[in-house]
A and B are shown apart, each in its own frame.
Chain A
Amino acid sequence: QSALAQPASVSGSPGQSITLSCTGTSSDIGGSNYVSWYQQHPGKAPKLIIYEVNNRPSGVSNRFSGSKSGNTASLIISGLQAEDEADYYCSSYTTSSTLVFGGGTKVTIL
């Protein structure tokens, strides 16, 4: 299975909104509503922030939202804050009952 494709980096100013993309195939994102997003700060384990395309776990800010169209999923971060500077990884459950991750996007706050 091939890794999901994510842009290497995205940047934005405080208060702005940014969109991170995650592109797969009909065997993963396109064939599944089990798309998740994880936030990882340096030296830390990843943290789940979105599951099943657009659901937030308890305690995750509503500034994070998700969507999906065809083989591409998106994470929208609104009202950018300094603490949002981190790496973000998408993940999808596949039609083979495995998990696949994206290569990650580094978000930089300008």
Chain B
Amino acid sequence: QVQLQESGPGLVKPSQTLSLTCIVSGGSVTSGGYHWTWIRQPAGKGLEWIGRIYTSGSTTYNPSLRSRVTVSFDTSKNQFSLKVNSVTAADTAIYYCARLSRGATIVDNWGQGTLVTVSS
């Protein structure tokens, strides 16, 4: 059973870069034909899909975030990462890493989520 765990700073200053890592255990991020994704949820609000990366390394992003977001692999550590540039208070949210299956159409495995607050 694949397990995912987010890690990274819980507090980021405005205009800086938010960086999170998702550690994957029980499976390889570069095999199995899965996509790996980031999703966020501001407090008391709905889910927002951020972007995904395929085992080949190809990426797809939410058009509204594309200019500020990068998702990448660290295959040596079996993990993938998220970077969000030029953050503002609107980027404050719980960030989930997750696995997509069935052709990237469903989220079938979630991390527990990590709260990131943007504040000076």
A58 to chain B, nearest CB (A): 11
| A48 at the B interface (CB under 8 A) | yes
Which residues of A are found within 8 Å of B108, using beta-carbon distances? 48, 57
B102 engages A89 (CB within 8 Å) = no
**Stretch of A11-19, A72-80, A94-102 with 4 or more beta carbons under 8 angstroms from chain B:** A94-102
| A93 at the B interface (CB under 8 A) | yes
A101-B47, A101-B49, A104-B46 known; A96-B107 Cβ under 8 A: no
A1-B62, A1-B64, A97-B60 known; A36-B49 Cβ under 8 A: no
Q: How far is the CA of A41 from the CA of B39 in the complex (A)?
A: 17
A98 engages B60 (CB within 8 Å) = yes
Residue of A nearest to B50 (CB): A99
| A64 at the B interface (CB under 8 A) | no
| Residue count of chain B within 8 Å CB distance of chain A | 26
Point out the residue from B46, B63, B106 that lies within 8 Å of A34, measured CB to CB: B106
Q: How far is the CA of A46 from the CA of B41 in the complex (A)?
A: 11
Q: How far is the CA of A100 from the CA of B49 in the complex (A)?
A: 6
A97 engages B104 (CB within 8 Å) = yes
B104 engages A99 (CB within 8 Å) = yes
Q: How far is the CA of A93 from the CA of B110 in the complex (A)?
A: 18
Which residues of B are found within 8 Å of A101, using beta-carbon distances? 39, 46-49
A54 to chain B, nearest CB (A): 13
Q: How far is the CA of A2 from the CA of B39 in the complex (A)?
A: 15
Q: How far is the CA of A96 from the CA of B61 in the complex (A)?
A: 10
Q: How far is the CA of A9 from the CA of B64 in the complex (A)?
A: 27
B18-54 CB contact bits vs A (8 Å, 1 = yes)? 0000000000000000000101000001111100100
| A84 at the B interface (CB under 8 A) | no
Q: How far is the CA of A45 from the CA of B5 in the complex (A)?
A: 12
A97-B104, A103-B45 known; A46-B110 Cβ under 8 A: yes
Add 12 more A-B contacts to A3-B48, A98-B63 (CB < 8 A): A3-B46, A34-B102, A34-B106, A45-B96, A45-B111, A45-B112, A46-B110, A57-B108, A97-B104, A98-B60, A99-B52, A101-B49
